[in-house]
Structure formats: structure tokens, C-alpha cells
Structure 1
Amino acid sequence: MAERFLSVGEVAERLGIRNASQRGLNLPEPDALIGSTRGWLPETIDAWEASRPGRGVGGGRPRKKQSD
């Protein structure tokens, strides 16, 4: 049986976003290349997503200090 790889569109769907390439995501190195088409194993994408920082980590404005 042939191994199944995810396309960029399928990666976006797995991540719950519309378009992975337009979101500016730095996807991991593909597990397969066929011509210029990239493909990833589902476990590669799952591990990559789990290692990414959460929303709001390391950026944005500092929180306002609450007065007592």
C-alpha cells in the first residue's frame, strides 16, 4: 500500500485554517517532494503544531498593572 501524504490544503484543513500558504506559516520540511509539490505525513504536522508556541506568547503589549 502506498504511503499517504498531506497537501498544503490538507495541512490547512488539519490545522483548522483556510489557507496555510497565505497565513505565513513556516511549515516544517516536507516528508516528500514530487516535482515542486510538497507532502507531509500527518504525524509530522501534528508534532510540528504541538511544538509551536500558543496564541499570544512572546508578543503584544505588556499587561496593565492592576491598582490595589
Structure 2
Amino acid sequence: MVERYLGVKQVAERLGITSGGLLNLKLPEPDAYIGRTRGWKAETIDAWNAARPGRGVGGGRPRRDSRGA
């Protein structure tokens, strides 16, 4: 049986972001290397993505007070 791995381009497509957007993310360790090319199983990426914190977690600019203060 042939194992299927996702390259960087396929990981970005699976996550719904651009390949450049992956530069801002710390991806999990690859499941395989072919030369210097990294490869991940779809299950690895799905589990990693499900465990990531949601948008806005960990800071950002505080919300403006609705009273104008």
C-alpha cells in the first residue's frame, strides 16, 4: 500500500490559507522527509489544527470601552 503525504502547498489548501500564511505557523513535525521536502499525513494536520488555539487567544489589542473611555 502506498502512503500519501501532504506537501506544504496541500497543507495550506487543507487549512484554507496561502502557502505564505504557513510561514506564520509552527507546523507539527513532519511524518516523512523526501530529501529536504517535508510531508505530513492528513490525520497529523487535522489533529494539529483541531488542537490549535482559536483566533484572538493570547492577547491582541484590548477592546475599546463602549462608554468612550
Note whether the superposition's TM-score is higher than 0.5.
yes
Q: Secondary structure at the match of 1:23?
A: helix
Q: Structure 2: how far apart are the matches of 1:15 and 1:3? A: 21
Indicate the percent of aligned positions where both proteins have the same amino acid.
66
* CA pair 21-65 structure 1, distance change in 2 beyond 3 A: closer
Q: Point out the structure with the larger helix share.
A: 2
CA RMSD of aligned residues (A): 1.7
Query: SS of the residue aligned with 2:49?
Result: helix
Cα shift at 1:22: 5.1
Q: TM-score, normalised by structure 1?
A: 0.85
Q: Distance in 2 between matches of 1:12 and 1:52?
A: 15
Q: How many residues align?
A: 67
Structure-2 residue corresponding to 1:43: 43
Q: Is the 8 A contact 1:9 1:20 kept in 2?
A: no
Relative to structure 1, the CA distance from residue 31 to residue 2 in structure 2 (aligned partners, 3 Å threshold; closer, same or farther) is same
- List runs of 5+ in structure 2 lacking aligned partners: none
Task: Detail structure 1 runs of 4+ shifted over 3 Å in the superposition.
Answer: 20-23, 64-67
